[in-house]
Structure 1
Amino acid sequence: MVALGRLMLSQRGGKVKNQFIDKLRIYAKGGSGGQGLPSYGGVGGKGGNVYVESSSKMTFRRLKNLHPSKRFKAKEGENSRLRCLQGARGNDVIIPVPLGVCVVDDKRNVVADLDKLGQRVLVADGGSGGNSENDWKGSMGQTLSLNLELKLIADVGFVGFPNAGKSTLLEAMSRSEPKIAEYPFTTIRPQVGVCQYSDLRQISLADLPGLVEGAHCNVGMGHKFLRHVERTKLLLFVVDVHGFRLSPRHPFRTAFQTVMLLNKELELYKQHLVEKPAIVAFNKLDMEGAGERLEEALELLKAGDRETRSSLQDMNIQPEQPIIFKDIISISAKEHSGIEKLKTRIREIIDDETEREEDGEENMEGPGG
């Protein structure tokens, strides 16, 4: 009950001490240039720059603790003086951020996507030192506010409604030990596990907070979830074969309707997401009546007839671009049934896609490289 109470508090907007932070707003200011010395032609030092750099050792929580004000100012350039006509340059400031951060300005322009370790981007340029072109007066450094938005980098992203069994599946496929319970929203922050194969090949898996209808409009955890899906190589739809109902106030959705609704939520958020390779894993095959529900869902997924599309349109859950799934696999995450087949197909599809992308890059480069 204590754990459930903490989750409910988080849902209602209360603060949970260890709540996952995946967005941070900062202020950056480049250093001002030093003053020149016109009588002797002395040039002021350039102001320091502010950079953002990806680091494997940084989290937003740690960054916030180290810099509570979230204000980063580079040093001013030194003034020119008789003993040193060329003023020294101001020291730069480097802001370490987690790998996978997207730097966005107030106009929602993407300044940089830091998806490689050690990648660095200039965000606030230092001012020029005083010289003959600016009347020997050092200029001010660039000043701006920025949003740092974390997008998890994982090979596979789990997509599903709450209580579909995503956390149980992550535990079955990896060494991760996520929080598991029989109520919605068990996962309130992303969980990342690693699936290791017999030849020591590793594939990372991200279990993300469950979607709800209207996620594309930021309902529930909406954008917080969908943002993390963008960088995954493969989408894994985890669907309760018995269907899903969030609460008595929400309509019941069959397994087939759940797949279509998830498809539509991704499509409405960003169209390109439905073009990613995807697998459907129908879960909870260990429960009574699962075989019949599975057969019904498979028939509807394969049919795609006018009557089926019409019924989806009536419920407003028909996607404009239905995803063509690479495979549909039935599993029981609880009983570890079908897990090995799922792991094999995930690896095969990721390898095929990687090879296809590499071939495409070679063709673009042409014979001469």
Structure 2
Amino acid sequence: MKLMFYDRAKIYVKGGDGGSGCVAFRREKYVPEGGPSGGDGGRGGSIIFVGDSGLNTLVDFRYHSHYKGNRGEHGQGKDMTGRSGEDRTLRVPVGTVIYNADTMELVADVVEHGQKVVVARGGRGGRGNARFATPNNKVPTAYEKGEPGQERWLRLELKLLADVGLAGFPNAGKSTVISRVSAAKPKIADYPFTTLVPNLGVVRVREGESFVMADIPGLIEGAHTGLGLGHEFLRHLERTRLIIHVLDMSGSEGRDPLEDFRIINRELRLYNEKLARRPQLVAANKMDLPDAAKNLDAFKDAFSGSYEIFPISAVTGEGLDRLVYRVAEMLPAIPREVLHQAEEEKTFRFENRDRFEIIREDGMFVVTGQEIERHVAMTDMENEDAVTRLQQIMSLMGLDKALRQAGAKEGDEVKIGNLVFDFSD
């Protein structure tokens, strides 16, 4: 059975919730008034992506799109902390770009084998009542529930990591070229769009020297707008350091090699200006067919001052060695472009950041903010001490004052996360 190629996927990830803290008291024979001994909950497991150079498709995410981390264990008596949930590791192909599906903000770019990216962090464990003992309250019953794990929808896009990309019209001979210079075995036939998925092949030049070549499915005029297989595969050229433009120099099927060359380069430029600036070699293919020599002379008259041209026949193998050795000679001088940096490497600065935001929706005051929402989520609303502590936190954060300034009156509804309550002035 042939493995299907998928280069896009949308998945839901959720880190494991933290375990709740414990309410317990020492009950020892000779300690009549033992203090609190409730332990903390364990941290929830995170969802982690790991780059794997052995994968070249996102097919696994096609059939399984929801991933949840393991919950941390609850705390126990005798100050025993709950066990943390195990992280869940998911393998993705090297070359996978991860976006927040709702905002399309970049999360990470997986460009190395073994690279790890945390895409949904597990929630921290709640504190047990032993943490809330004070000189004025030696027997606290307050505790924290576990923090909910981070959750979000992600969009995954695979952009193949290859040193060299083969570009050109359908039936120009790209698949035959890669099959002759590498161990790749693409489907080859004499009709357009034989290649429906990108093919990767390792081209071995000499001992210890090789490069990766990608056969990109045939492009057509209008590909940059999505026509044909346009957007499906143009993205795979973005990572290549060098482009080999394969032309049917024989002009079979009534095509004009010069016009084909201009059209494909225009599509590359319109899709991404950087692609048009990539170093480019011209593989003048099908030189074993009639009219190829005449068309090659015309092509050289038009472009020989701007591009290196290599007459080849992918069918007979003529000229391929010279092309391969020239590529191997050029690649060391072409730097790898770092497209994105992983999330962990970014540095963010927040100055005077508000701890919460208040908006008015349908007559209700809605309070949002990571810190305040976390406090609410970790509070047991049926525990009187815990609720009292939450009220104190809200007051210290200035929420009561801010609600009054926003126009809240006695009895108005206020919502924070899943909690809805009446405002009391």
Question: TM class by shorter-chain length?
Answer: 0.7 to 0.9
Superposed counterparts of 1:6-155, under 5 Å? 18-37=3-22, 39-40=36-37, 42-58=39-55, 60=57, 63-64=60-61, 68-106=63-101, 107-131=103-127, 136-155=144-163
Aligned AA (2:319) = G
Aligned AA (1:172) = R
The CA deviation string for residues 25-70 of structure 1, in whole angstroms up to 9 with x for no partner, is: 22110111111235545322221111111124445466348xx432
Matched position secondary structure for 2:334: helix
Matched position secondary structure for 1:197: strand
The equivalent of 1:336 in structure 2 is: 317
Between the aligned partners of 1:149 and 1:333, the Cα distance in structure 2 is 32
Between the aligned partners of 1:281 and 1:144, the Cα distance in structure 2 is 46
Larger radius of gyration, structure 1 or 2?
2
Structure 2 spans left out of the alignment, 5+ residues: 24-35, 133-141, 338-425
How does the TM-score come out when normalised to structure 2? Answer: 0.68
Q: 1:176 aligns with which of 171, 180, 184?
A: 184
Aligned AA (1:49) = S
Matched position secondary structure for 1:180: coil
How does the TM-score come out when normalised to structure 1? Answer: 0.77
Aligned AA (2:225) = C
Instruction: Answer yes or no: is the 8 Å Cα contact 1:329–1:342 preserved in 2.
Output: yes
Between the aligned partners of 1:50 and 1:90, the Cα distance in structure 2 is 11
Instruction: Answer yes or no: is the 8 Å Cα contact 2:38–2:77 preserved in 1.
Output: no
Relative to structure 2, which stretch is displaced further, 181-190 or 100-109?
100-109
Superposed counterparts of 1:304-323, under 5 Å? none
Instruction: Answer yes or no: is the 8 Å Cα contact 1:185–1:210 preserved in 2.
Output: yes
The equivalent of 1:284 in structure 2 is: 286
Between the aligned partners of 2:87 and 2:4, the Cα distance in structure 1 is 32
Instruction: Answer yes or no: is the 8 Å Cα contact 1:171–1:178 preserved in 2.
Output: yes
How many residues were matched structurally? Answer: 312
Between the aligned partners of 2:59 and 2:264, the Cα distance in structure 1 is 34
Between the aligned partners of 1:58 and 1:84, the Cα distance in structure 2 is 45
Task: Give the Å deviation of 1:148.
Answer: 1.9
Q: 2:273 aligns with which of 271, 287, 290?
A: 271
Between the aligned partners of 2:270 and 2:179, the Cα distance in structure 1 is 30
Instruction: Answer yes or no: is the 8 Å Cα contact 1:282–1:294 preserved in 2.
Output: yes
The equivalent of 1:207 in structure 2 is: 215
Between the aligned partners of 1:179 and 1:270, the Cα distance in structure 2 is 28
Distance 1:350 1:59, change over 3 A: closer
Distance 1:99 1:73, change over 3 A: same
Higher helix share: 1
Identical aligned residues as a percent: 39
Between the aligned partners of 1:147 and 1:116, the Cα distance in structure 2 is 19
Aligned AA (1:294) = L
Supply the RMSD in Å over aligned alpha carbons: 2.5
Superposed counterparts of 1:236-247, under 5 Å? 236-243=244-251
Aligned AA (2:82) = G
Between the aligned partners of 1:286 and 1:59, the Cα distance in structure 2 is 34
Matched position secondary structure for 1:282: strand
Aligned AA (2:293) = G
Instruction: Answer yes or no: is the 8 Å Cα contact 1:163–1:182 preserved in 2.
Output: yes
The CA deviation string for residues 313-361 of structure 1, in whole angstroms up to 9 with x for no partner, is: xxxxxxxxxxx54x2212111121211211111111112325x99xxxx
Between the aligned partners of 1:19 and 1:172, the Cα distance in structure 2 is 24
Task: Give the Å deviation of 1:259.
Answer: 1.5
Aligned AA (2:119) = V
Task: Give the Å deviation of 1:161.
Answer: 0.9
Task: Give the Å deviation of 1:238.
Answer: 0.4
Aligned AA (1:297) = F
